[in-house]
Chains A and B, each alone.
Chain A
Amino acid sequence: MKPAPFSYLRPDSLAAARDALLRHGPDARILAGGQSLMPMMALRVAQPTVLVDISRIAELQGLKRDGRYLRAGALTRHAELLSSALVRSWVPLLSRALPHVAHAAIRNRGTLGGSLALADPAAELPACALALDAVMHIHGADGCRTVPAADFFQGLYSTAAGDGEILTAIDFPVCAEGERVFFDEISRRRGDYAIAGLAAIAQADQSVRLAFLGCGDRPLRAPRAELLATDACRSGHVPARALLKEALAADLDPPSDLQASADIRLHLAAVLVERALRSWMARSHASLQETS
């Protein structure tokens, strides 16, 4: 159906956007790509009376290498990240994850900042940000501050960005020499929200970071499973699935819903860890063969 009536503002600067949000308070919502907000408004689960369209604000755009980080403006469209050589070189985990985000028409409009600020627990980019230890730049009434990903995602659709605050940019640490990445998700159809998914990084010293989507009310690291996975990378042996599942059950809190039970999600999480480990081991084996 059609959205409920609202007023529409399109400020041309960050300061003007912040002022508009302050002025209108909880009646106002930020509109960026609109690929999540517009469906919510069409279904009338969201009925803001004021929309503040930030999509033309220059200060929120741009993608550039900045020392140890790749800084992405919050308005960077998914499609731009997907096709970016900078991202492919310096934050390859994103390049692996982005083909799983919805469909081309959605990726042409949806934004990085929008996805992170919505913090859907089954979305790809929040899990990637968590795996990468990304840093969020937030602009509010009191000025700017930074929040690391581990503190940014606080609950279901809940982040450290408060009412009236705007996520302006995200710093992704650039990948180090010898670092390997993995992304996969399990969904019924291409483009569906994941039933469960994994954004994983194996660092040069073989220590593994695992960030899961669809396994809780927010993207979640799994420290106990990370220890098992790190051992596996060092020893070359994939742990028994029962061990993996037990480790994951300690750190994840998957929901049961129409798509899958909590137990199925835990099972899928274990399968995804195995896939990650096998893909890394296969590549190590292949490169050893090449050099011998």
Chain B
Amino acid sequence: MNASQAPESPDAPIEVRLEVNGRAIRRHVPPRMHLADFLRHELHLTATHVGCEHGVCGACTVRLNGDIVRGCLVLAVQADGCEVTTLEGLDASGSIADLQDAFVRHNALQCGFCTPGMLLCAAELLERAPTTDRAAIRDHISGNYCRCTGYHAIVSAVAEVAEKRLCSVRFEAGDAK
């Protein structure tokens, strides 16, 4: 059953094909299963967390076709034909090793519940609009709630990584002259 026909009963499973952390995945899912639940229960990728389940806490943040999204606000069937990257995938790629290291050194996680979403969110800022400005960092992560740290250490970790990455860009640019 694919999404162009009307199933006879609501919740009848629909086929979805997508790529998750570089692996081709094919499953049948009920329409109402959201992407975060799909990742956790179908694929056992549990780094993506489910908090408020209505889009405000950010714990479910994942990448869809390279952009961060709320995993609880995307239906699994809507990810058909898409590329999804979870924290597991980012971790394996090594692309946020500096950020993960900074989080540990700054004590930017305690219970760890918000951490995957925070890392996904911060990673997008660092890739697209890196800034050491603490207010700008706070603005960007303000959709990710942390109940433990008070955010200061998280902002410090992100600012430190931004500084180091910007420095290395400047260094490379200088080298090229």
Contacts and interface: CB of A to CB of B under 8 A. Distances in A.
B75 A34 contact: yes
A35 B68 contact: no
A7 B12 contact: yes
Interface residues of A, number: 37
Which of B9, B30, B75, B138 has most chain A Cβ within 10 Å?
Answer: B75
Contacts of A9: 3-4, 6
B3 A5 contact: no
B70 A5 contact: no
B134 to A, nearest CB: 13
Given A5-B32, A8-B14, A53 B78 contact: yes
Interface stretch (A103-111, A161-169, A233-241, A249-257): A103-111
A55 interface: yes
A105 B138 CA distance: 15
A7 B10 contact: yes
A41 to B, nearest CB: 8
Contacts of B133: none
Given A1-B53, A6-B11, A109 B69 contact: yes
A43 B54 CA distance: 7
A223 interface: no
A191 B144 CA distance: 11
A175 interface: no
10 A-B pairs with the lowest CB-CB distances in the bound complex, closest first: A103-B143, A8-B31, A10-B3, A5-B11, A39-B54, A5-B10, A108-B67, A38-B73, A190-B142, A105-B68
Given A10-B80, A109-B73, 19 more contacts: A2-B37, A4-B32, A6-B31, A7-B10, A8-B3, A12-B4, A38-B75, A39-B55, A39-B56, A39-B73, A42-B72, A103-B143, A104-B68, A105-B121, A106-B55, A109-B69, A109-B70, A190-B139, A190-B142
